[in-house]
Amino acid sequence: MQTDPVTRPAPPPPALGAMLTDLEELVSCESYSADHAAVARSARVVAEQGARLLGARPETIVSGGVSHVRWSFGTPRVLLLGHHDTVWPIGSLTTHPFSVRQGIARGPGVFDMKAGLVQMFHALARLPSLNGVCVLVTGDEEVGSDTSRALIEDTARACRAALVLEAAAAGGALKTARKGVSHYELTVHGRAAHSGLDPEKGINAAVELAHHLLALGPLTDAVTARTGPGTTITPTVMSAGTTANTVPARAELSIDVRVPTPAAQQAVDELIRSLAPHHPGARLDIGGGPNRPPLDAGSSAELFALAAELAVGSGLGTLEAASVGGASDGNYTAGAGCPTLDGLGAVGDGAHADHEHVVTAAMPPRTRLLADLVGALL
């Protein structure tokens, strides 16, 4: 759905009180990624808030049961990208209620990344025209963007720039590079047997898995030797066995991979898929693979230079750039060939953690910077 361009008088500077009211509205609507009904409720709140500030209703796109929200004004040239789902299970407001005290806003998802959405809407409300703007707010970023990836990439290919409203790096730095991400599930199939009567008749899947667990260190070294430093291969969730007196017939391991370059991502994939059983009777299944490509600093260079120039001109000061290990949907826009600048959202800390918070005083100046940046790009 495309919205006709609207020319509007420039509003006054963003008022922090109004922004915090909108932030409370978004945070108070819990949106745990795995709860599609909660995400749908959140999408409606996002749509209403955006419609009020942008002067136009969005389209809601439901894919795989997940609700995404999109505005398009004229022929899109600049994509503003965010997500409204969070990692916080339903009920987290009971233990982590929204609050603002001494300039700090707290609540589930306040930093990652509902404050970024508020800043985005208020920044766009400052522009005299939204002609050429596309806003996409997805509902499954925290779980890999499986249902929104094609939507993100297709939209990005049609745009000249993508601005990602994920939270800023430490000190308010913009994120000019992100590592790529791969996820693997290693399943070992052994053979069960009684651990007391005849353990020799079993094939212990837990022991087999231990060999591969220990092999991940040398595998990381091999990737580094081939493609350079920066790759991490981290075993995360592991399970094996059924009862205390049975040789485990099955064991599972989740592996999280972060890579600085496409070459490293390919090298990891080749090496993990080349794993072979240590015990001749065991069998390995390897699932998963690359998820997000790296966001290379070259994709952000010109946009960051423009943002830095605008920040100095507006009195915001010197902007810092950061390269981070975490990924976002900005990896997809950059991978689709669209110049991408990330970390334009909230200043704060504690994403996914009990101390998640936003520095409220930074919200209005970050909002002005985003408005200036979008205006310059248009």
Topology of domain 181-291 in CATH is Alpha-Beta Plaits (3.30.70)
Cβ proximity of 345 and 166 under 8 Å: yes
Cβ proximity of 362 and 347 under 8 Å: yes
The model's pTM is: 0.89
Given strand 357-359, what is the order of strands in its sheet? Answer: 99-101, 104-106, 357-359, 348-349
pLDDT score, position 316: 86
Number of H helices, E strands in the chain: 10, 16
- Give the DSSP H or E segment for 113: none
What gap in Å lies between CA 27 and CA 346, rounded to an integer?
Answer: 14
Cβ proximity of 313 and 323 under 8 Å: no
Domain-wise residue ranges, the chain? 16-179+294-377, 181-291
Q: For the chain, which residues score pLDDT lower than 50?
A: none
pLDDT score, position 315: 82
Cβ proximity of 163 and 370 under 8 Å: yes
Please list the residues that pair with 194 across neighbouring strands.
Answer: 246
| Nearest Cα to Cα of residue 250 among 183, 184, 182, 185 | 185
- 10 Å CB burial of residue 258 (0-12, 13-18, 19+) is buried
Q: What is residue 139's three-state secondary structure? A: coil
Q: Write the DSSP symbol of residue 23.
A: H
Contacts for 241 with CB less than 8 Å, ≥ 6 apart: 205, 206, 248, 251
Give CA 96 to chain center in angstroms.
22
What gap in Å lies between CA 218 and CA 223, rounded to an integer?
Answer: 9
Q: Which two tokens stand for residue 34?
A: 């795995």
Please list the residues that pair with 257 across neighbouring strands.
Answer: 182, 233
> pLDDT, tens digit, for every residue of 259-287?
999 999 999 999 999 999 999 999 999 99
Q: Is the domain defined by 16-179+294-377 classed in CATH 3.40.630.10?
A: yes
Beta-carbon count within 10 A of 259 CB: 27
Please list the residues that pair with 250 across neighbouring strands.
Answer: 189
Q: What is residue 193's three-state secondary structure? A: coil
What value, to the nearest 5°, has the Cα angle with vertex 230 and ends 227 and 232? Answer: 105
> pLDDT, tens digit, for every residue of 318-374?
999 999 998 999 999 999 999 999 999 999 999 999 999 999 999 999 999 999 999
